[in-house]
Chains A and B, each alone.
Chain A
Amino acid sequence: AQSVTQLDSHVSVSEGTPVLLRCNYSSSYSPSLFWYVQHPNKGLQLLLKYTSAATLVKGINGFEAEFKKSETSFHLTKPSAHMSDAAEYFCVVRPGNQFYFGTGTSLTVIP
Chain B
Amino acid sequence: GAVVSQHPSWVICKSGTSVKIECRSLDFQATTMFWYRQFPKQSLMLMATSNEGSKATYEQGVEKDKFLINHASLTLSTLTVTSAHPEDSSFYICSARKRTSVLNTGELFFGEGSRLTVL
Contacts and interface: CB of A to CB of B under 8 A. Distances in A.
Interface in B40-81: 41-44, 46
A106 interface: yes
A103 interface: yes
A55 to B, nearest CB: 16
Interface in B1-44: 4, 6, 34, 41-44
Given A90-B43, A101-B44, A104-B42, A41 B91 contact: yes
A78 interface: no
Interface residues of A, number: 20
* Interface footprint category on B: 20 to 34
Given A49-B105, A51-B105, A51-B106, A43 B43 contact: no
- List of 3 A-B pairs having minimum Cβ-Cβ separation, nearest first: A43-B110, A44-B110, A43-B112
B101 to A, nearest CB: 14
16 contacts: A32-B105, A32-B106, A34-B107, A41-B91, A41-B113, A43-B4, A43-B95, A43-B111, A43-B113, A44-B44, A44-B108, A46-B108, A90-B44, A99-B108, A102-B43, A106-B41
A18 B98 CA distance: 34
Interface string A89-111: 01010100001011110100000
Nearest to A6: B43
Interface string B79-119: 00000000000010101000000000111111111010000
Given A42-B112, A43-B113, A104 B107 contact: no
A36 B108 CA distance: 10
A42 B107 CA distance: 18
B105 to A, nearest CB: 6
B114 to A, nearest CB: 10
A6 B115 CA distance: 26
Nearest to B10: A41
Contacts of A32: 105-107
A43 B93 contact: yes
A102 B43 CA distance: 7
Contacts of A36: 110
